[in-house]
Structure 1
């Protein structure tokens, strides 16, 4: 009899345990169903990412009609200059407005990224577009701007004396009548790819692009070559510019102001056989030319000192 009672009690305990486990399983199943339903509800009613009352084009117009200092800080040019460039690109059909983005917005996005080094995500939120759209239009405008380089970056007129030389009679003239401009280089900080980053370290110890530029005395670029590693010497860049990148070689009787420390072909440097009415010695002649070159270089590069870092490709 005792044996029967013990067996019955064990059966009742097992039944109770089974019922409790079944209740736990039911509760877990109900919790899973509740979580799934809540996620479905969230997906059906997502929080919008682009929640501004202003569209991208409206924001651009708001900025362009605002304070000039704000415009200058965002795109590094005045609103009048921006509209001239936008009208040029749109008028020639190089950029076309779409249903979702007009020419002004396309150009503004490009300039904002270049001028501030702003991230794709930041610009996408600012103008209420997806990162893919922002990236696509950036590279499209970049291609258009690069296509204009031959129109706006031109070799100087070799047949006329530069106005700055004429204005400084007795100081630069007639000794520098054949000087058509100056050549100088600068290092622009960049972020290179990790696999070849060492080659981009310059002699000052940071990653940079070495940029070679030629410019006239009225402070206009006449030639530019970019994209070389920071470790590349200026003389090598000039040699490759002549050999492969269409550097405009001055005709006989003309030359450019260039640093004497640069190991370059003498065909580019003005003849130092100058009469006694000017700087008295070759050292003085070179010193005067170098001062002129340095003044031009400082004026040209000073405006770019605060520009953002770029990623080398």
Structure 2
């Protein structure tokens, strides 16, 4: 099939969440607040874990990496959106668009992999407590993080490189607030059959399989927990796993909601809003979930916030 009006594009137009000019200041202020809270919250988690030696355990090592991933994922999408609204310029260069696409895929997949590693850590801690320190050796934790990063980079490059040869028509408007793969495939003039098959196959491999792993881990955890004679022990287990379960629910729940919305709705605005629930909200909520539901994190954050080294040093003089 021969496509007409093909051109070599140097930039795209990100249409954002709405074309209503009266809504732009509200959206700018809201997303600026969300971004600042996301960065500050996740940065506090990282600093609290790194400054408290009691938290130098596999569970908190994974949590600090999750917070770092949340910072990177939010930084990949929100700042460009804020700049576009502030300058009233919707343009994004071809290189920047594909870079944003690649990084969003990498960090989205990395968050997914780290959640799986955290589920495995909980499984070993609860179901095999006597072997925990042997199995969850620091070298294994580092290996799991590096393996997650490698898998995520392969995932991001796979889709980005496959999309590079695509040709685009005169219409280069992306009805979204960032360069999302599905939206880019919609505006191309090339045959996207291979890209679509690759996208759905990768979604099953990189998201469905890890989700099954998380479910399997928690089935084992529940089975081990119900066999405990102590009510206090069972409560402690559910309390420990509660934060991770909330994060998993937010991440996969919003992701599944976005998938359903994109499948059954042709509205570009609805798809963009659904993506906000997946690409923005979980990263904002994760620090609050772990802070409010984890006593050790509460203590570490309290120590970090109330730490006054310069005042103490001055008194010492």
Give the TM-score normalised by the residue count of structure 1: 0.26
Point out the structure with max Rg over C-alpha.
1
Q: Higher strand share goes to which structure?
A: 1
Give the TM-score normalised by the residue count of structure 2: 0.26
Q: Higher helix share goes to which structure?
A: 2
